[in-house]
Amino acid sequence: MTPELKAKLDRLVQDNKIMVFMKGNKLMPQCGFSNNVVQILSALSVPFETVNVLEEPEIRQGIKEYSNWPTIPQVYINGEFVGGSDVLIELYQNGELQQMAEVALAS
């Protein structure tokens, strides 16, 4: 990964309380897993930003190295990598995701 790409990813993750790297965007998810994440975050009524990895191939590959996580989507809350679709579903169902989002948005 180039230093420029790492700096760009650092900036995206740090500048947005909830950041989702996904296929498509929050208005038009391009895969079922990305759609799951959008639906969950929308159900929590929390603001979040997205990066469409289909439009930025260097980010599509780079984010996998950045997080050491092989799949898309990837969710970051308060600068920390949380996980993908399955992890978000689990955190949502047990109530932890709501708490994480509230803490992030309050900070």
User: Quick check: 65 and 59 in contact, CB under 8 A?
Assistant: no
Is 76 exposed, middle or buried, given 0-12, 13-18 or 19+ CB atoms closer than 10 A? buried
Reply yes or no on whether the pLDDT at 93 is more than 90: yes
Would the pTM of this model clear 0.75, i.e. be above it?
Answer: yes
> Which range marks the domain in which residue 79 is found?
3-106
Q: How confident is the model at residue 72 (pLDDT cuts 50, 70, 90)?
A: very high
CATH of the domain at 46: 3.40.30.10
- State the amino acid at position 55 in one-letter form: E
Q: pLDDT tens across 22-62, in order?
A: 999 999 999 999 999 999 999 999 999 999 999 999 999 99
Q: Where are the alpha helices (DSSP H) in the chain?
A: 3-15, 32-43, 57-67, 85-93, 96-106
- State the amino acid at position 85 in one-letter form: S
Task: Give the number of domains in the chain.
Answer: 1
Helix (H, G, I), strand (E, B) or coil at 53: coil
